[in-house]
Amino acid sequence: MPDAHSSSPVPTPDSPRPLLVDLHTDALYEHIRGRKDITQRSDEGHLDFPRMKDGGINGQVFAVWVSPTELKPGEYRDFALKGADTFDEVCGRCAESVAPVRTPDEFRQTTASGRIAAVLGVEGGHALEGRLENLDRFFERGVRVLTVTWCNSNELGDSSGDKNKPHNGLSSLGRQAVRRMNELGMIVDVSHSADKTVFDILDASDAPVIASHSGVRARRDFNRNLTDEQIRAIGAHGGVIGVVFLSYFLRDPEAQASIEDVLDCIDHICQLVGPDHAGLGSDFDGFEGALPGLEDATKMGAIGAGLRKRGFVESDIAKITGFNFLRVWDAVADRAS
Ligand SMILES: [Zn+2]
């Protein structure tokens, strides 16, 4: 297991282009629901393929959120699989600029060719319908990231959004699911998980994990944000934390946050565990409104510029804006049996 403070090699490299990777957007979900066309430029919402290109985003995890209220049990898995079909369809329609990728090598080849590497995720472990074989089914369909819980607790474990904690963390099925994800080479995402669930996942997983879209609790006391102890544990496990762009996670509800708060969260994570464990997790199209300075996907380059202004060195900026995610995916893929 990598140490949080090990001096990993400067990620120059095998990628001739700088990476700009976002760990979480709901744009695909919005497309599936017919509320946007992700292939077309729009002024609505935050993210579509043309605006990603303008903003220089060349790696993106697209989450299929599985609504536990609009759908019923028995419909969850099929909705996620339908999302995988839509993912392939929209990427196929824009093959000159976007490619679905299933391995870190495909990710590298795609970004090196100047295209956007699109990674498929599922948000909400209830999509498994309580059956581990659905993990294998998802993996076959290209899913490479699973967010263990959404705001609801499910068969796998407790959510931060659930006052009742029916499992006291990760359930025994959840523990098996994490191990199976390790075997498959699927990235485990701890965002939304309850505090104890996060620690239980780290205990169960022998590959690094991500928190795809979370804030920092030391800066804003909110159950969706990570405590310093969690940040240290995720870092010690070799993982990466995508800092969310949602004002409500960054400042008290009555205050308006801005890009500076995102930079503050990145800075906080780096102070605690070094530059190898911070990343970007916009949650674009997963919330209303816009964060000043990071209004939509076209503004993504402002993160690197902001970090530079704060004195971050180029090699650390490169890690935070993309290479940390690729390092985690490499480790997860290497662990797969
Ligand atoms: Zn979410």
If you write DSSP's letter for every residue of 252-288 in order, what string do you get? Answer: -TTSPP-HHHHHHHHHHHHHHH-TTSEEE---BTSSS
CA–centroid distance, 292 to ligand 1, in Å, is 20
- Centre of ligand 1 from the C-alpha of residue 13, in Å: 32
Residue 14 zone, left/alpha/beta (φ > 0; ψ -120 to 50; rest): alpha
Ligand 1 centre to CA of 275 (Å) is: 24
Q: How far apart are CA 172 and CA 123, in angstroms?
A: 20
Cα of 282 vs centre of ligand 1, distance in Å, is 10
Domains defined along the chain, listed by start = 21-335 (3.20.20.140)
| C-alpha of residue 148 to centroid of ligand 1, in Å | 11
List the alpha helices (DSSP H) in 113-152.
133-140
What is 180-214 written as a DSSP string? Answer: HHHHHTPEEE-TTB-HHHHHHHHHH-SS--EEEEE
Centre of ligand 1 to C-alpha 179, Å, is 23
| CA 192 / ligand 1 centre spacing (Å) | 7
pLDDT of residue 73: 97
Q: Is 153 exposed, middle or buried (0-12, 13-18, 19+ CB in 10 A)?
A: buried
How confident is the model at residue 253, as a pLDDT?
A: 85
The CA distance from 193 to 174, in Å, is 12
3-class DSSP state of 241: strand
Strand partners, 291: 294
| Per-residue pLDDT reduced to its tens digit, 229-267 | 999 999 999 999 999 999 999 998 889 999 999 999 999
DSSP letter at 307 equals: H
> How far does the centroid of ligand 1 lie from the alpha carbon of residue 163, in Å?
17
Residue 12: the pLDDT is 44
CA of 213 to the centre of ligand 1 (A): 7
pLDDT of residue 9: 38
How far does CA 290 lie from the centroid of its chain?
19
* C-alpha 238 to ligand 1 mean position (Å): 22
With 90 as the cut, is the pLDDT of residue 14 above it?
Answer: no
65 CA to middle of ligand 1, Å?
Answer: 8
The single-letter code of the amino acid at 312 is F
